[in-house]
């Protein structure tokens, strides 16, 4: 299996888990506060997701294999975290779990989180091989959890 095929398989699994979370029936007794909290998570995740999409421009691809004509993006949202799209997906899908009131869905969410971490780590191996400045970028910018402390 070559890198593109492996990437397609990971994307297929990722979207499969997201669809399971989105389509899973909600509890009929969900507390309205959970619905509100879940909606807030979804909104925050969507903002991160679309900021990541916009920031990548022509480098955007669902496949972790970098585009041949892509460029390394280190500014905007990518100056705060290296993987805002993965972070956005995790927050959106966590919001779906919270608002559904079906806590068994956390198992599917954890499977998605593990898959995205695997995908992210493999993608970083590919990015290190493609972009000369990626190692330095990795040392400066956290992968998925923003460093809220600013150095002077």
Segment 55-60 long-range contacts (CB within 8 Å, at least 24 positions apart): 55/84, 56/85
Please give the average per-residue pLDDT across 27-37, as a whole number.
Answer: 89
Task: State yes or no: pLDDT of 89 exceeds 80.
Answer: yes
Q: Where are the alpha helices (DSSP H) in the chain?
A: 3-23, 32-56, 84-100, 105-130, 134-140
Mean residue pLDDT of the chain comes to 92
pTM, two decimal places? 0.91
Q: How confident is the model at residue 149 (pLDDT cuts 50, 70, 90)?
A: low
At residue 152, the pLDDT reads 42
For the chain, percent of residues with pLDDT exceeding 70: 97
Structure tokens of 138? 């990795």
Residue 75 is classified by DSSP as: S
61-83 residue pLDDT tens: 999 999 988 899 999 999 999 99
Please give the average per-residue pLDDT across 12-21, as a whole number.
Answer: 95
For the chain, percent of residues with pLDDT exceeding 90: 78
Domain borders along the chain are 3-24+37-140
Specify the residue for token string 């972790």: 64
């Amino acid at each position: 299996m070559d890198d593109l095929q492996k990437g397609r398989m990971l994307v297929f699994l990722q979207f499969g888990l997201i669809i399971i979370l989105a389509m899973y029936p909600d509890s009929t007794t969900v507390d309205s506060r959970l619905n509100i909290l879940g909606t807030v998570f979804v909104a925050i995740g969507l903002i991160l997701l679309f900021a990541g999409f916009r920031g990548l421009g022509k480098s955007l691809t669902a496949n972790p294999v970098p585009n041949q004509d892509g460029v390394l993006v280190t500014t905007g949202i990518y100056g705060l975290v290296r993987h805002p799209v993965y972070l956005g997906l995790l927050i959106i899908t966590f919001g779906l779990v919270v608002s559904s009131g079906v806590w068994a869905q956390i198992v599917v969410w954890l499977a998605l989180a593990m898959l995205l971490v695997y995908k992210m780590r493999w993608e970083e191996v590919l990015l290190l091989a493609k972009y000369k400045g990626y190692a330095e970028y990795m040392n400066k910018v956290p992968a998925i959890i923003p460093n809220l402390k600013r150095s002077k």
